[in-house]
Structure 1
């Protein structure tokens, strides 16, 4: 005699197995109720019958079992694999997965039998389909975690004890057993393939569901999932290169946080300077940020406040950069007044007639007010005079 039952797992449990326990209790109560006659047994309710399409059977057939051994075996496996899966995603998600797998496969079976074998007679019941689906999810999420089995062996002498077996080994064993039964069916037709097909069907539904939930981050396996195990970097087992990459990413993230904090504080200080009309202090702050290769993005309002302060302080060259930014912020010819003023500064203050003429050429002179048009002509004449006098201008594109 050989008996064995799973009873525990070393997989981390982050949620209490409330739904798992509830499902076990419901299965036991329903079976006991039918056996004692308290609950009337109706095959059209509790069995998944092949000759009909009945959505009620899709769900309820998963809650009725043929006998006590069928019930106990399923409940032990539901307990262990429910611990693994519900322990990672919580009761509601687990219940949705469990019932979804059970009802979906039952629906597929009835619909396929209805269209491809309309005269088929027979039925099935039990939680095995859903449990195999949950087993598949445990394989994807925790292949290296162990399942503890209690065993009882009675040959000449009695052996009693427990053994820990990795989930991947447990799953491959039961998959192999079901595939073997399907193969034997072709040589021994009296062996029914139905239960093996249903078991494998549940597994096929649970496996991709687990992958989708893993890839969409609906579950966190902390690096112990099937893909990490396959690559060999599961859990804390990281290669030197990956450790260095992780450290670099952490340093980069911290640097970005420091820079973000620095720019936030600097921006606040700049607003204070602009409010107090301290243009030189604002300029000094901006220059210091440039030395540290930090770029502070100024708003249109801030630029319009800064530029006049720089002009009052005679900082013509320094103001040109911020006037150019103002031009970039405005589309079309809305920035023509700024272009005109910058062209004047280029010619009169900076000795850059070529750049001044470029700014004038970018303007729509027909839209200018008469006084602005007159000023533009004077600036253009002055620029051409400077060029005629041989003023050397080296334009590197920068301000």
Structure 2
């Protein structure tokens, strides 16, 4: 079992509704004894009861069921609420629960009533929304290996894929994953699968619609931007980059000149592009990034920085290159590129400075340099959530420094 416990996705709102929903679920579990649950659960095969569409989502069958769902709600509720705000997130949460519950009561017909409860359908809906809005952000995960806790990071894209596969396999074998059905039967297993799948489909569609209507800002790091190879860039910029990829390269030479006269192609002149070197370098960088050729993109970046005076990538290209290196765990190169970005960008993003400090602390064991990076963040530019992250990083760096972490100075810093 992999347990999520946090994410690096940017949050623009405090998790007011998420905390309130967790509190309400715990209070409902403590206040209502299990023997009284049937009055408030979602009953399948006994008609349509709209009140149950809301009440069943606040009930849980045991402490394990409750804690598991609340951990997922905390991690992924933060991301969704962080983009929507508390009232919109509350409407989304209750709406997902009501619609998937109504779907079950309308579609499942059985002579023996089936009682269902829990937030599993909503959780799968939130997972799908996070997949659409923040597929390349990381989730901090905890698992156990030989009774030893192991902490690691996994992208939301792979995390959601893992749990979808897990849910399909587990539902096929046992009919019970992340939700509780109080009476087992073949129909109950179908209801379980429909509960999870309908929640995921609803969440995916809702997230896509909100994104299409520009009611949520993912800064072009959403699933569709990733699939179209334009992360960090608008659609218009992505189209320009795609068109540019078909133009003649500065280094294009369709017929290699022969070493000696008399060879085929000896008298054919070498073709050269009239494209501006800065534009050509930028186009080549983008092309390598779109094709996932990170090492080639880094080489183009370094060569162009040395040979072309005043050359700088655009903001989205900087961020694409940094993210590509982070995805490949190339911590040293990523730190170097982030440092170049902070030095050369006219308006560097504070998030990049935070990420650089995080890499220096957690991956490269360079707490002193991380403290220097964090000290350069101007006051008042961070949101409350990012300011909390900054303070946490400062504490980690100071702890490493006090523990005597050896750090060598070099020219890079």
Q: What is the TM-score when the length of structure 1 is the normalising length? A: 0.54
Partner of 1:52: 47
Q: Give the superposition deviation at 1:9.
A: 0.3
Give the whole-Å Cα distance in 2 for the aligned partners of 1:126 and 1:70: 8
Report the counterpart of residue 167 of structure 1 in structure 2: 156
Contact 2:135–2:155, Cα closer than 8 Å, also in 1 = yes
Give the paired residue count.
233
Q: Which position in structure 1 is the counterpart of 2:64?
A: 69
Alignment CA distance shift 1:4-1:184 (3 Å): closer
Question: Within 1, Cα distance between the matches of 2:225 and 2:114?
Answer: 43
Do the aligned partners of residues 171 and 33 (structure 1) sit closer, same or farther apart at CA in structure 2, a change above 3 Å counting? same
For the 8 Å contact 1:16–1:87, the answer to whether it is kept is: yes
Deviation for aligned residue 1:135: 0.9
- Tell me the CA shift for residue 165 of structure 1: 0.7
Q: Identify the structure with the greater helix proportion.
A: 1
Counterpart Cα distance in 1 of 2:219 and 2:212? 13
CA distance in 2 between counterparts of 1:61 and 1:211 reads 27
- Deviation at residue 145 of structure 1 after TM alignment: 0.6
User: Match for residue 359 of structure 2?
Assistant: none
Contact 2:41 2:115 in 1 (8 A): no
Whether contact under 8 Å (2:5, 2:141) holds in the other structure is yes
Give the distance between the partners of 1:84 and 1:219, measured in 2 at CA.
12
Query: Residue 134 of structure 1 aligns with which residue?
Result: 126
Unaligned runs of 5+ residues in structure 2 are 176-184, 245-413
Q: Cα distance, 1:151 vs. partner?
A: 2.2
Note the 1:1-399 alignment, pairs <5 A: 4-35=2-33, 41-113=36-108, 117-153=109-145, 155=146, 158-184=147-173, 192-235=189-232, 241-242=240-241
Separation in 2 of the partners of 1:30 and 1:161? 32
Q: Note the C-alpha offset of 1:7.
A: 1.1
Per-residue deviation, 1:243: 10
- Mind listing any 5+ residue stretches in structure 1 that lack a counterpart? 246-399
Deviations along 1:266-296, whole A, 9 cap, x unmatched?
A: xxxxxxxxxxxxxxxxxxxxxxxxxxxxxxx
How big is the shift at 1:44?
A: 2.1
Aligned to 1:267: none
Shift in Å at residue 94 of structure 1?
0.8
Structure showing greater Rg = 1
Pairwise CA distance, 1:46: 3.3
- Root-mean-square deviation (CA, aligned residues, Å) is 2.8
